[in-house]
Amino acid sequence: MRNGNKFLVVLIMLGLLCSFGLNAQSKGTILLASEKTRFKDLLIEELETLFVNAGYTIKKAEHPKGGLDSYKASDYRAVFITNSGVNSRVRPWVVQWIEKNRNSNAYILLHTTQIRDWTVKTDVDAVTSASANGDVKKLARDYFLQITRNIEQKGSVQ
């Protein structure tokens, strides 16, 4: 093969490899933040599977007091926070983080648990009971669909 033909073959191969790399790019990164409980671990694991299978990159974080401080919602396509409703309240540091990051372009969905009827004093997209452990797959699917629909409506990639 002549040098010119070899160069052309190499150029075509590089083009093909680059196009495969572009097709494999992530749709964006989703932050999944949780406290460590059996129910929440199962929920986050199921959400991670759904998002990864749909082409998203996942960043997981635990959020004890101050645990979200190193994260900015604007770095993510969406943020999912699962919170324990202690004394029928969303944890104060979670409320503060949401307030601080409210104006980001990311969709923030807060999942919080409860043991009795109460009013959440934070903008919340979902409230559920941690006792519904058997519904983790359905709950994760519902949240996944809610988040991806919102991302698709916005249409912009971060």
Please count the structural domains in the chain.
Answer: 1
Q: What digits encode the pLDDT tens for the residues 47-105? A: 999 999 999 999 999 888 888 999 999 999 999 998 876 666 788 888 899 989 988 88
Cβ burial, residue 82 (10 Å; 0-12/13-18/19+): buried
Is 4 among the domain residues? no
Asked if 53 and 38 count as a contact pair (C-beta separation under 8 A), the reply is no
- Round to whole Å and give the CA distance between 113 and 99: 19
82 domain residue, yes or no: yes
First-to-last alpha carbon distance for the chain, in angstroms, is 45
For residue 6, is it within any domain? no
Where residue 40 sits, what CATH number does that domain have?
A: 3.40.50.360
Which pLDDT does position 11 carry in this prediction?
58
154 touches 105 (CB < 8 A): yes
Q: What is the pLDDT of residue 8?
A: 59
Residue 40 in any domain: the answer is yes
Distance CA 14, CA 20 (A): 10
Cα 98 to chain centroid distance, Å, stands at 14
Residue 1 lies in a domain: no
Q: Is residue 39 part of a domain?
A: yes
**Domain, as residue range, for 120:** 26-154
Residues 6+ apart with CB under 8 A from 12: none
Does residue 44 surpass a pLDDT of 90? Answer: yes
| Residue 14: inside a domain | no
User: What residues are paired with 82 via a beta bridge?
Assistant: 34, 111
Whether residue 13 is contained in a domain is answered as: no
pLDDT digits (tens, 9 = 90+) for 108-137: 888 876 666 656 666 655 555 555 556 889
